Amino acid sequence: MKKLVIVVLAGAALVAGVGCGKSKVTQCNALIDAANKSQAGFEHVDPDKPEKMKAALEKVKKGNAEVAAVQLEDPKLKGFRDDYVKTHEALAASFGKLADLSVKLEKAEKSNDAKAAESLGKEAEALEKAMDKDSKDSDKVIEGINGYCHAL
């Protein structure tokens, strides 16, 4: 009889534990939905149109804030969320710098300042390399989220 009571109590604790909080699937869906929405800003990023690029980056920043605000209980998902926000903040900052460089480069070319144009061109190349790294880091985070969530 004593063993039966322990088993029943253990079963009740298990049910209560499962009933508390959001399931991992629900948490995954919330994170993935927010991340997908945040990607919309990147679709409108065009280095040749700095004004539009700045507006698109505001959407990216807003999307990142929404991803950061997703309430998660699972420690692994919290890590993915934080990594996602970190990599996308880095990408957004790089795109902002690229927009600024684009404006400066255009001015240098219009004023026939070859030296400034060359220097800015090299800066843009270095920035693009950094952005490639940030993009690869982002892909790894997204793959991690998808792999973890699809395994559930």
142 CB neighbour count, 10 Å cutoff: 19
Q: Domain 23-150's class?
A: mainly alpha
Exposure string over 47-70, b if 16+ CB within 10 A, otherwise e: eeebeebeebbebbbebbeebbeb
- The predicted pLDDT at position 49 comes to 81
What is the model's pLDDT at position 3?
Answer: 40
The predicted pLDDT at position 4 comes to 32
List, for residues 1-57, the tens digit of each pLDDT value. 444 333 333 333 333 344 456 899 999 999 999 999 998 877 777 767 877 887 888
pTM for this entry: 0.79
Q: What is the pLDDT of residues 54-111, one digit of tens each?
A: 788 888 889 999 999 999 999 999 999 999 999 999 988 988 898 888 889 889 989 9
pLDDT value, residue 24: 95
Q: Is 28 in contact with 150 (CB distance < 8 Å)?
A: no
Distance CA 22, CA 20 (A): 7
